[in-house]
A and B are shown apart, each in its own frame.
Chain A
């Protein structure tokens, strides 16, 4: 075998390695199957402007409509995971600080597969709601509804609006909104609806009803991990107010054991007197 072919497999491996590394680079995959490296393109006037080299030398600009982008091939943005962790830990301001640039960056590509806009928007909305910034949360929610990206994110946005209505002292209106939102809604929206129902019942001091609403999240939507800390904390408090101290402690214990580091676990720790 010639030296060239002997080393071919090794070269192939190296080539594969290079391709692997380049797979984590940022790329726009167009509908015509061409690929634009992100570092060779900028967004301007609602279009993607890609620079390319002429074969004989020189550079030209290629204008690409956003609608011609089939998919974004981007790694998970730095800060997204940290933003989620900060939100879970109760650091809403920090979460907002981390997620807002990601939200803004992917906003033009909101509906394109591979975009991280939906994840960023969801986190941003949650952070705004958690920090009580209802004005901005309303704006974010309305924007998400307008974009109509998926039943899930649209439902989450509607639920946020319902929650704002409840916070403004219109629980009956909020309840009616919830009933409409959950019709044919995906599980994540239904789970959020039960969370909000639990909160509304808590405000009415209907503790048994509140406990059942919160516990429904655990019973029927166990895969909605991000909602579980709030559900368990709400249930624990409602059960204690109802008078079932043993069950309350069991639920709060579940929260402490399984969701350490969350703001809800910290609250549970305090309430259990640890």
Chain B
């Protein structure tokens, strides 16, 4: 650090001139030197001035020393001149002669000299400080600079030098205090900029990140005061790194963001350096630069050197921008800005494929939950750097992402890739466990078991040895290898007596015992389990249920009832709850204790009014009362439950119960053999009864309750085989109620009706309402399926496919899986995705639960799919499908008709007109088809074909296209 020569103190300078004036005005005659025993001080002052003007400060200094000696000897000062002024001038002269020690020595005597004004003292202090500093006596220089800062207009420079001296003296706290004072109150110039840089650097050195951040904030908007822009940018980079390491990601981000792009930085710094060079050249070229100029020159040179060094450093860093960009990405990522981080990494990778950037990209997508992108990013990484050590970790993340999207196949694929390349034992162990779990989830129990065995072979004392031991036993259990599973479970319990899976392992042993009908052993295990584990254990309900099963199997009905009843006191998962309730009901029924069974359900319905099983309660109450011959009680009990919820549109289970309720009303009451059978109640009377039972003073006639009444009446009409009445009621609901007042079950039924009668656009709002307002309802699939059908009808197969996909993914397709699957098939067919369409229709045809009309329809669709194929045997295959329908599914007339007509067309397409005619003739023999529109069309077509055959007429367009 260099210290500039001070300017001639203005005060001292003015003193010269006034002295000269005084001498001139005093009229004192000139006395030749040789005639005097001692030259007068006034004469010496003139000589001094001459030497100064010639730039011979050392000569002036010598004379001033002699004057000081005379003053010390007691000689009086000339009038108008003070000792302080002389001493100041002497100090200045010595300083300009680079005799810094002497300059400082003299300057130190100024404050105590007669005539020492505050300004003189301040200037002397400055010289003293600079002199000492240039002698590297920074400790001593510091108080001098502080004194200088207290006086006069050199305050800012004095503060700057004081801060520098403090730093050099190993007093960083004082240096910081000095810089802070300057920055707060100093003039905003380039010295201020230098001070700010120095302060940030100092704070950084000392790890004062909070203060460094403050400095960062101070610099914003003042970058025009900084000549060493390159140095500042390097400082920001260092600051950003320090803040990142300290986990202050917001501040690190702010620091990195302030960094200029390399090209801009280099250009601007080069321009600044050129300006500095020009300024330096200007001053250097001056014939007699003033001390102010010399001061400035030293500071400029210092600044230029530092800026030049920083510029060289950045010039050498060709990947400077990428370094900064990568850090920005990390900052965003660590502070939770995963989307932004991903954008940055993607951008970085376009310029600079880098393994770390790839891996962090995968991580960013994974953290953001954007699982599809995780997978593609992992694949890209592997393709770009197949052997990199981070690839297995990326594959692992991709596997996790695949698991989150429930794509277990993909999960396994990623895990297989990860395990191949896993470089560290820790990672390998984790991946192996995950792989075993994935195989288990995919129900590949054999493979899962093998995977566990392999893990245990490779890592017998690994971190996941317990998990693999247990999972291997579970794999055997799921494969039905009960005895092997038992052995392994016992081995597990022996090896891990208080293991993580202790409770579950004992539960599984009880189930295996039950499975081989060793009920007493199962009972014993469950009794011990209940004693050993706390009452709030999450598996307690399962144990009690199993115990009930075991007691039941052992014909200990009272004990079974007690176990099941105890299970009911615990919060059970729905599936188990339903099972336990059903089993209790069954047991009570076997004892013909219907009242207790009814009470169980009645209590359940009262205590769990919002539970979906309230419907089950109504069902069982109705059935049990009907068993007792108490049909009207059954109906009343169900109506009682229904009335609680009939006005609540959001309670969508009501529709399910209404369907049950309708079936009880529509079917004649059971009677004893000896009683007279009374005629069935008329449908209109039933309609009235529905209204009476469901609507009362409490329920009122809200739109929802009225709509539900109509809905129930429609269900009765269907059960009574009066579809026209049902249609009329659906039409009423559609016209009298807006979709927003209807519950989802009714929306779905009305939408279906309107679609069925050829009004898809009228149906749309009803389906749309389900999707918009009842997406979580049990009837949600009505909505998505309906919209899919509307789109398909309107010729928008992709939109339809999207709806059908969502129907399955989001709603589980509780009611409409068949329609959805068929719909998907038609959409795929329309989109030309023939293989997928074929697989879809095949799945419908093969589904035994849907055996019937759907099978016929799917076979026709398979025929249509085959016809679109370009395979050589396409039409033959199509023909085979059609034939299966009209031979094997004769009950389903519309599909039989379709199979005939399409079969005929497929013959025609292959030039087999006679076979086409035969097919249509065969169709004509089936009178059952005669009322169908297709029959008339087929008849006309047959006539045409015959006419062509016999008369050679040209062919006419197909009628079924």
Contact = CB atoms under 8 A, between A and B. Distances in A.
Interface of A: 1-2, 5, 8-9, 13, 211-212, 215-216, 218-220, 222-223, 235, 239, 244, 247, 250
A-B pairs, top 6 by smallest CB distance, nearest first, are A219-B340, A222-B257, A5-B14, A219-B343, A215-B340, A215-B339
Contacts of B153: 9, 13
A13 B17 CA distance: 20
B11 A219 contact: no
B119 interface: yes
B10 interface: yes
Given A9-B119, A219-B328, A220-B347, A247 B368 contact: yes
A244 B369 contact: yes
18 contacts: A1-B18, A1-B81, A1-B82, A1-B85, A5-B14, A5-B17, A8-B14, A9-B153, A219-B328, A219-B332, A219-B341, A220-B343, A220-B344, A223-B257, A244-B368, A244-B369, A247-B338, A250-B337
Interface in B1-44: 10-11, 14-15, 17-18, 21
Nearest to B344: A219
B716 interface: no
Contacts of A244: 368-369
Interface of B: 10-11, 14-15, 17-18, 21, 80-82, 85, 119, 152-153, 253, 257-258, 328, 332, 336-341, 343-344, 347, 368-369
A173 to B, nearest CB: 26
Dominant secondary structure of chain A at its interface with chain B:
helix
Interface centre among A1, A218, A222 (most CB of B within 10 A): A1
Nearest to A13: B153
Contact of B80 (A1, A8, A235, A239): A1
A211 B14 contact: no
B343 A212 contact: yes
Nearest to B115: A1
Nearest to B264: A187
A2 B340 contact: no
Nearest to A214: B339
B368 A1 contact: no
Contacts of A222: 253, 257
A19 to B, nearest CB: 13
Nearest to B342: A212
Contact of A215 (B253, B336, B343): B343
Contacts of A212: 339, 343
Contacts of A8: 10, 14
A214 B85 CA distance: 69
Contacts of A223: 257-258
A118 B695 CA distance: 73
In this complex, the member of B14, B119, B339 whose beta carbon has the largest number of chain A beta carbons within 10 angstroms is B339
A221 B665 CA distance: 70
Given A1-B80, A9-B11, A9-B119, 19 more contacts: A1-B15, A1-B18, A1-B81, A5-B14, A5-B18, A8-B10, A9-B152, A9-B153, A13-B153, A212-B339, A215-B343, A216-B343, A218-B337, A218-B340, A219-B340, A219-B344, A220-B343, A220-B347, A247-B368
A178 to B, nearest CB: 18
Contacts of A9: 10-11, 119, 152-153
Nearest to B325: A220
A39 B344 CA distance: 53
Contacts of B337: 215, 218-219, 250
B80 A2 contact: yes
A247 B364 CA distance: 13
Contacts of A247: 338-339, 368
B7 to A, nearest CB: 13
Contacts of B15: 1, 5
A2 B343 contact: no
Contacts of A215: 337, 339-340, 343
B846 to A, nearest CB: 35
A168 B66 CA distance: 91
Contacts of A1: 11, 14-15, 18, 80-82, 85
A208 to B, nearest CB: 8
A215 B340 CA distance: 6
Given A5-B14, A219-B332, A244-B369, A211 B257 contact: no
Nearest to A216: B343
Contact of A250 (B17, B82, B336): B336
Nearest to B329: A219
Contacts of A239: 339
B581 to A, nearest CB: 36
Contacts of B81: 1
A235 B332 CA distance: 15
A216 B345 CA distance: 12
Contacts of A5: 14-15, 17-18
A242 to B, nearest CB: 9
Contacts of B328: 219
Contacts of B253: 222
Nearest to B81: A1
A210 B337 CA distance: 16
Nearest to B152: A9
